[in-house]
Structure 1
Amino acid sequence: MDINKNDEVADLVSKIKSHDSYGKSYKWAPRDFELGTELGQGKFGHVHVAREKKTGYLVAIKALFKSQIVHSNCERQVLREIEIQSHLKHPNILRLLTWFHDERRIYLVVEFAAGGELYKHLTNSPNGRFPENKAARYIYQVADAVEYCHQRHVIHRDIKPENILVSYNGDLKLADFGWSVHAPSERRKTMCGTLDYLPPEMIKREVYDVSVDQWCIGILLYEFLVGKPPFESEGQSKTYTRILALDMTYPKYVSEGAKDLISQLLRQSSKERLSLDGVKKHYWVQNFQNV
């Protein structure tokens, strides 16, 4: 490992840890938890369910190897994720409860979402898709969570089923803020996210704003109802072409109301995309809220 790089990680961690707004959040250490079953693997480490020894409180612990973070030049990305998620408190956003580190790892302690990944729920559903009532309830929760983020000038930039978890009671928890950014100016140019979910302005390398998340929510809703993204193709170039041309079709079983909502989100012009409040108030979503 590059010693200077490792020192930079330690320095950045120290700066954030000592920040006044975090203060009392860093009392726990690895010895305070009993590790349980592995829940999955991430880019830089493993995720385990864990029990806090004194209270018995169940959490999930994401252990990230510093060496892998440094090797991928992702130090600032990881620390930005910690800083952003530490400040988000919403019922449909996975809470980052605390974090700490030792010589080898950074540990993120997050609330335990007993239902696991939404993606697995989707693939295990009949025909690999959600019924409309469930899709409408889920898209309301995602829109509400992302609207909360936007009110705090946070753009998620990687909304997809793999980055959403399901709680014990069946509610969604928006997670994985690795590509998120705090952008008070709400103007960015970095290309990031997932191929099938990229909005046209990112593909064209244009300056973009929070409305990239609205595009992603439109893709997400389509995937909820159909079981795959609308522009999925063989290879990056074909996918790009289909996105830029809005080349998509709807299976016959997708209702007119759902198509109307998706079409208002998947607009080439970001200014024409339906607001997140508009998503929550859309008649198709509202029809299923009390079902």
Structure 2
Amino acid sequence: MEISFDFDLKVYQQIGHGAFSQVFLGEYDSKKVAIKVMDPIYLDQFKKEVEILESIHHQSFAQYFYSKETENSLYIVQEYLEGKTLTQFIKTVQMEETHIKQIIIELLDSVSYLHSQDIIHRDIKPDNIIITTEGQLKLIDFGLSSHSESKLSYDKCGTLLFMAPEMIFKQPYLKSVDIWSCGIIAYQLINKKHPFWDPSESTSTFVQRVQQFSPNFQEMNEYQKSFFLKCAAYSPEARMNANQALQHPWLSGKGELWQPITMADMKKLFDNKMKTLQTIKALLMIKFLCQKFGTIIPNEFSNYEFNDSTADTNTNFKLKLVRSSSRNPSFIKQVRSTSTIFFESNNLPSPIRFTHNNKRVSISPNKTMLHSESIQFSQIAKRNTQVIKLPPLSNSPVLKKQRKSNLNFRLKQY
């Protein structure tokens, strides 16, 4: 390809190349510059890159000078950065955790700026990160970048090893693909290797490992592991954005790991709160139904859990027998119907079961609380293992002759 440049632009040797371009060292206005040269067939891509370079102004990017279109070539003139790529740093420099954190913070700061301008880089990798001789991080190569404008993108582009799963499998994606790349880079800096790729394995094996998502965390502490999982989460919705990542306890030194950061964290916390509220509503409804229709219920719900895993004959709780307003079967049917509708409408398993016309009420399958003839409790308290027998209930033929109906009884704790 024959290349023609302006007279005020001096061009020296070639210093690099990419899939669509060549990079030369040059001089412009008495400054060292990097000249990126592209073939005219990539005119559309060239215009997109120039548009992005003209719109960004941040210390984390090489300064843009100008660009030009000629008959034979397209070229972009930018500040020349003296230093090493992050790939070279990973291979040759033994970095302390403090240094690794500083690199990730500067990288996320640059990504945060891009995303605030609705720009997705789409090719963040160690080869596109320069650590200058002054120790400053610079993110380069916007050849695959695009304006997202908060809309879904579908193009598959970038470097496979740093490509988010949704991009690999040609699914729609947003800015979170850049956060995935940052998470992979953080893992590499800490462990000196890729979380999913082994050089001896094939590309298809790498893709399977990404799907299985089973990285090795043996050399990472809990804070590092949490940061990686929230950056490189398989689900895009579970990933932090750049600003949230900067506030993660591993980088900021503030907060706790259990505190919600991402939208997925907040949704999970909200769902747990809603489940708790639904459980409280269920217990209150049970209490109301039992008081209205004469069912034995726990006096203190906090001392008793309605599930099989906590079923224990040594459970210590109080019971009370409340007055039944009627023994009419229609009332019992109403209780059964109301309870069923309540739990079904709230998508909750019903902890109360009616059988044999209210002769027995079971709270969890292994707990029988009310019998038609008698109630027995074993080991009511740790200090007392005596078995207590209650008198026959009011529907017993013996008591029907001895007392009037609808009396109140209460079993008091010893």
What's the TM-score bracket when you normalise by the shorter of the two chains? 0.7 to 0.9
Q: Which residue of 2 aligns with 1:41?
A: 17
Q: Deviations over 1:139-180 (max 9, x none)?
A: 111111111111111111111001112233111111111211
Is residue 88 of structure 2 the alignment partner of residue 120 of structure 1?
Answer: yes
Secondary structure of 2:7's aligned partner: helix
Q: Structure 2: state its 5+ residue gaps.
A: 254-414
Question: Does the 8 A contact of 1:77 with 1:178 survive in 2?
Answer: yes
Q: Which residue of 2 aligns with 1:8?
A: none
Is residue 190 of structure 2 the alignment partner of residue 240 of structure 1?
Answer: no
Is residue 60 of structure 2 the alignment partner of residue 92 of structure 1?
Answer: yes
Secondary structure of 2:104's aligned partner: helix
Distance 1:40 1:184, change over 3 A: same
Question: Does the 8 A contact of 1:226 with 1:251 survive in 2?
Answer: no
Secondary structure of 1:31's aligned partner: coil
Q: Deviations over 1:107-162 (max 9, x none)?
A: 21111111142222222224xxx332221111111111111111111111111001
CA distance in 2, matches of 1:213, 1:172: 16
Q: Which residue of 2 aligns with 1:160?
A: 125
From 171, 184, 189, give the equivalent of 1:224: 189
Give the drift of 1:213.
0.9
Distance 1:275 1:244, change over 3 A: same
CA distance in 2, matches of 1:235, 1:94: 35
Question: Does the 8 A contact of 1:261 with 1:279 survive in 2?
Answer: yes
Q: Which residue of 2 aligns with 1:272?
A: 238
CA distance in 1, matches of 2:197, 2:96: 21
Distance 1:209 1:162, change over 3 A: same
Return the letter of the residue paired with 1:188. Answer: S
Distance 1:207 1:91, change over 3 A: same
Secondary structure of 2:71's aligned partner: coil
Is residue 51 of structure 2 the alignment partner of residue 83 of structure 1?
Answer: yes
Secondary structure of 1:259's aligned partner: helix
Q: Which stretch shifts more, 278-287 or 145-154?
A: 278-287
Q: Which stretch shifts more, 156-165 or 182-191?
A: 182-191
Number of positions where the alignment pairs a residue of Structure 1 with one of Structure 2:
249
Q: Which residue of 1 aligns with 2:39?
A: 65
From 148, 173, 176, give the equivalent of 1:211: 176
| Runs of 4+ displaced beyond 6 Å | none
Return the letter of the residue paired with 2:248. Answer: H
Q: Which residue of 2 aligns with 1:25?
A: none
Question: Does the 8 A contact of 1:186 with 1:210 survive in 2?
Answer: no
Return the letter of the residue paired with 2:34. Answer: A
Q: Which has the higher contact order (CA 8 A, sep 6+)?
A: 1
Q: Deviations over 1:180-234 (max 9, x none)?
A: 1112133111122211112222233221111111111101111122223211042
Q: Which residue of 2 aligns with 1:201?
A: 166
RMSD (Å), alpha carbons:
2.1
Query: How high is the TM-score relative to the length of structure 1?
Result: 0.79
Distance 1:44 1:210, change over 3 A: closer
Return the letter of the residue paired with 1:63. Answer: V
Give the drift of 1:95.
2.8
Q: Which residue of 1 aligns with 2:290?
A: none
Q: Structure 1: state its 5+ residue gaps.
A: 2-28
Return the letter of the residue paired with 2:97. Answer: E
CA distance in 2, matches of 1:96, 1:113: 12
Q: Which residue of 2 aligns with 1:26?
A: none
Is residue 106 of structure 2 the alignment partner of residue 141 of structure 1?
Answer: yes
Query: How high is the TM-score relative to the length of structure 2?
Result: 0.56
Q: Deviations over 1:5-61 (max 9, x none)?
A: xxxxxxxxxxxxxxxxxxxxxxxx632122334322233443222222xx4122211
Q: Which stretch shifts more, 80-89 or 55-64?
A: 55-64
Q: Which residue of 1 aligns with 2:224?
A: 258
CA distance in 1, matches of 2:21, 2:158: 20
Return the letter of the residue paired with 2:25. Answer: V
Bigger Cα Rg: 2
CA distance in 2, matches of 1:243, 1:61: 36
Give the drift of 1:251.
4.2
